[in-house]
C-alpha cells in the first residue's frame, strides 16, 4: 500500500483516530480537520474513504470499538470556500447514508469546533439531513474548547488542542506505522465486493433521498 500518494498523506494528517481512551468503556474519538486536504486535488468522498481505513483497523483490533461507539470532532479552522462548495448535496447525502445507515459504529456525538458564522447555514442543512436520533447528537463549539471538554476529556486530546494525548505528529506516526502493517490485508480486502442486484428491500441511494435540494438552494453566502 503506497502511503506517498496525495490522498494517503492528506488523510494521515487530516483524519486521526485518537489512540488514547478516557476509560476502557469510553467512546473512541475521531478528529478531522478538513482544511488539511485540498478539495481541488482530492474529492471529499475519496478523502473520507481513505480516512475509513483507520476505522477498519479498529474493527480488527478493538472488540469494543463498535460497542462503545465514537465521538467525532471536526475542526473547521482554516476551511475555505473551496471546501464548502465541495460538499455538494450529493456528497452530503452519501456521507449521511454511510455514517447513519451503513456504518456499524454507534455515533455518540459529533462536535464542530472553531465554528464561524458563515458555516451556520451548512451546519443547519446537515442537521436537516439527519434523523431525529442523530440530530440531537450534533453540537457546534466556538474557539473556546472548554465546552468540548464536557464530552472529550483533555487527557486524550492532542497537545495542539490543549490536551495531554501526545502531539498530532506522534499520532500521525502511529497510524502511518499501522497502515503499513495492514498493507497486505487492505490489498486483499479490496478484491471483494457485493452484488447489489441481490440486495433485498429498497435501495438507499442518493436518488431516493428527498428534501435536500430545496434546502440547499436556500444556502447563500454573503
Q: What CATH number has the domain bearing residue 177?
A: 3.40.525.10
Q: Name which of 56-70, 176-190, 192-206 the model is least confident about.
A: 192-206
pLDDT band for position 134 (50/70/90)?
Answer: confident
What's the rounded mean pLDDT across residues 157-179? 92
What's the rounded mean pLDDT across residues 6-14? 67
- Mean pLDDT, the chain, whole residue set: 80
DSSP bridge partners of 4: none
Q: Name which of 73-77, 85-89, 105-109, 215-219 the model is least confident about.
A: 215-219
Give the list of residues 6+ apart from residue 114 with CB closer than 8 angstroms, or none.
Answer: 75, 76, 77, 141, 142, 143
Q: What global pTM score does this model have?
A: 0.76
Q: Is residue 193 part of a domain?
A: no
d(CA 1, CA 99): 25
Does the structure show a pLDDT above 80 at 120?
no
What's the rounded mean pLDDT across residues 78-85? 84
d(CA 97, CA 151): 25
Q: Is residue 184 part of a domain?
A: yes
pLDDT band for position 91 (50/70/90)?
Answer: confident
Q: Give the pLDDT of residue 29.
A: 94
Give the list of residues 6+ apart from residue 148 with CB closer than 8 angstroms, or none.
Answer: 73, 111, 113, 141
DSSP bridge partners of 74: 32, 112
pLDDT band for position 221 (50/70/90)?
Answer: very low
Q: Is residue 194 part of a domain?
A: no
Q: Is residue 220 part of a domain?
A: no
Q: Is residue 112 part of a domain?
A: yes
Q: Give the pLDDT of residue 205.
A: 53
Q: Give the pLDDT of residue 66.
A: 81
Provide the terminal-to-terminal Cα distance of the chain, rounded to the nearest Å.
43
Q: Is residue 27 part of a domain?
A: yes
Q: What share of the chain is helix, strand, coil (3-state, %, to 5)?
A: 50, 10, 40
pLDDT band for position 222 (50/70/90)?
Answer: very low
Q: Is residue 221 part of a domain?
A: no
Q: Give the pLDDT of residue 14.
A: 86
Q: Is residue 79 part of a domain?
A: yes
pLDDT band for position 139 (50/70/90)?
Answer: confident
- Sheet of 70-75, strand order: 15-17, 28-32, 70-75, 107-113, 138-140
Residue 30 domain boundaries: 6-188+199-215
d(CA 184, CA 192): 14
25 burial (CB, 10 Å; 0-12 / 13-18 / 19+) is exposed
Looking up cell 492528506 gives 10
What's the rounded mean pLDDT across residues 24-35? 90
CA angle 124, 129, 133 (to 5 degrees): 95
Count the domains in the chain.
1
Amino acid at each position: 500500500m503506497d502511503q506517498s500518494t496525495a490522498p494517503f498523506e492528506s488523510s494521515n494528517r487530516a483524519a486521526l483516530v485518537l489512540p488514547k481512551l478516557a476509560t476502557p468503556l469510553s467512546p473512541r474519538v475521531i478528529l478531522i480537520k478538513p482544511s488539511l486536504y485540498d478539495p481541488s486535488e482530492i474529492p471529499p468522498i475519496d478523502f473520507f474513504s481513505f480516512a475509513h481505513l483507520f476505522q477498519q483497523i479498529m474493527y480488527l483490533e478493538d472488540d469494543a470499538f463498535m460497542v462503545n461507539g465514537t465521538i467525532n470532532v471536526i475542526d473547521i479552522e482554516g476551511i475555505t470556500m473551496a471546501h464548502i462548495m465541495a460538499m455538494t448535496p450529493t456528497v452530503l447525502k452519501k456521507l449521511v447514508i454511510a455514517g447513519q445507515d451503513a456504518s456499524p459504529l454507534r455515533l455518540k456525538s459529533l462536535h464542530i469546533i472553531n465554528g464561524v458564522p458563515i458555516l451556520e447555514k451548512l451546519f443547519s442543512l446537515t442537521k436537516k439531513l439527519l434523523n431525529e436520533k442523530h440530530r440531537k447528537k450534533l453540537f457546534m463549539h466556538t474557539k473556546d474548547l472548554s465546552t468540548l471538554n464536557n464530552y472529550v476529556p483533555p487527557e486524550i486530546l492532542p497537545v495542539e488542542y490543549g490536551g495531554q494525548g501526545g502531539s498530532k505528529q506522534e499520532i500521525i506516526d502511529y497510524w502511518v506505522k499501522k497502515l503499513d502493517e495492514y498493507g497486505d490485508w487492505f490489498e486483499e480486502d479490496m478484491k471483494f465486493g457485493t452484488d447489489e442486484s441481490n440486495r433485498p428491500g429498497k435501495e438507499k441511494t442518493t436518488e431516493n433521498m428527498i428534501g435536500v435540494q430545496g434546502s440547499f438552494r436556500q444556502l447563500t453566502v454573503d
